[in-house]
Structure 1
Amino acid sequence: MFILFRKHLFSFSLIIIYLTNITTLAQPPPFFHHICQNSATYTINSPYQRNLDTALSALPTTNSGFGYFNFTTGQLNDKVISFALCRGDLEPALCTNCVNDSIIKLRELCPNQTEAIGYYDKCFLKYSNETRNTNEVALPNPQNTSNVDRFNGDLRELMDRLRGEAAAGGPLLKFVLAPKWILISRT
């Protein structure tokens, strides 16, 4: 009887561990950063909201095959421009999942905003009602350096090397990843 109980207890423990891991894996990581532009908001059930709903539901289906998504709908003030970009080393299914997670998270974090930006480590999402700078986004780093000149020199050296490697990456996919260690002294 005791051996049978131990076998069931062991099996039950394995099931609990398995289910815990599935739950943990299903949860997306937190956004690294997001920006809710306060310039304009939309009202519930407005044409802009309907266009935003349409754009963000269609966006994940527009993958170019290389991790770039874009979808635009509407006219004038109700126009919605949306785009997403995944890291070049991400498998297509994981890329689409990241974009879907970003859509959900950004809508939670920026309710009723006509313009919002958010990113995970693996993908980036932006939607807006304006065409200005749609492909240009500044993503600030909250960490500072004590030696700006050295940092900029190291960054320039790294970017020069990566530019050459990425350019050699084929006719469509230009992606390269490399670590760069920088000694930071805190005074």
Structure 2
Amino acid sequence: MSILALFWFSLVYIYLINTITLAQPNFVFERCGTSENYTIISPYTINLDATLSTLPTTNSGLGFFNFSTGEGNNAVNSIALCRGDFSPVTCSSCLNDSIVNIRKVCPDQNEAIGVYDFCLLHYSNNALLVYQEQEKEYFS
């Protein structure tokens, strides 16, 4: 294989990998918190990063995930739910897309909800039961 062919193959490969891994679809519903924001370098950011990176490992086996990190105003409570009629692989992919996309859509809000056709992700610095009515409103 010539150097030029190898070079073009490498460029196409890098382009395809970046396109596939960086492009998340748009949410069908999203809501960012409006009352509180966090700064990029803060205890809340550290807890949010830890929570969202751990959340996909907390599957109950039924497509329900929850995890919390921190205390007080820096606490991050998160939940995720996948539709039961889709495979665990689809659920995992949807949840991973949600985690990446929610940080783009709501870059510095202490609360965010993102819904795809296959899954839902919600995090907040408040107890999540407070927002149950908002989610009921969307799903009814």
Same fold (TM over 0.5): yes
Asked whether 1:40 is paired with 2:36, we answer yes
Fraction of identical pairs, as percent: 50
Relative CO higher for 1 or 2, CA cutoff 8 Å, sep ≥ 6? 2
Unaligned runs of 5+ in 1: 1-19, 142-154, 156-187
**Structure 2 equivalent of residue 119 of structure 1:** 115
Alignment length (residue pairs): 123
Q: Is 91-100 or 78-87 further displaced after alignment? A: 91-100
Q: Give the secondary structure class of the aligned counterpart of 1:72.
A: strand
**Structure 1 equivalent of residue 69 of structure 2:** 73
TM-score between the two structures when normalised by the length of structure 2: 0.78
Q: How does 1:51-90 map to 2 (within 5 A)?
A: 51-90=47-86
Q: Which amino acid aligns with 2:98?
A: S
By how many angstroms is 1:135 displaced? 6.9
Flag the structure with higher helix content. 2
8 Å contact kept, 2:37–2:108: yes
Q: Give the secondary structure class of the aligned counterpart of 2:73.
A: helix
Q: Determine which structure has more spread, i.e. the larger CA radius of gyration.
A: 1
Flag the structure with higher strand content. 2
TM-score between the two structures when normalised by the length of structure 1: 0.59
Unaligned runs of 5+ in 2: 1-15
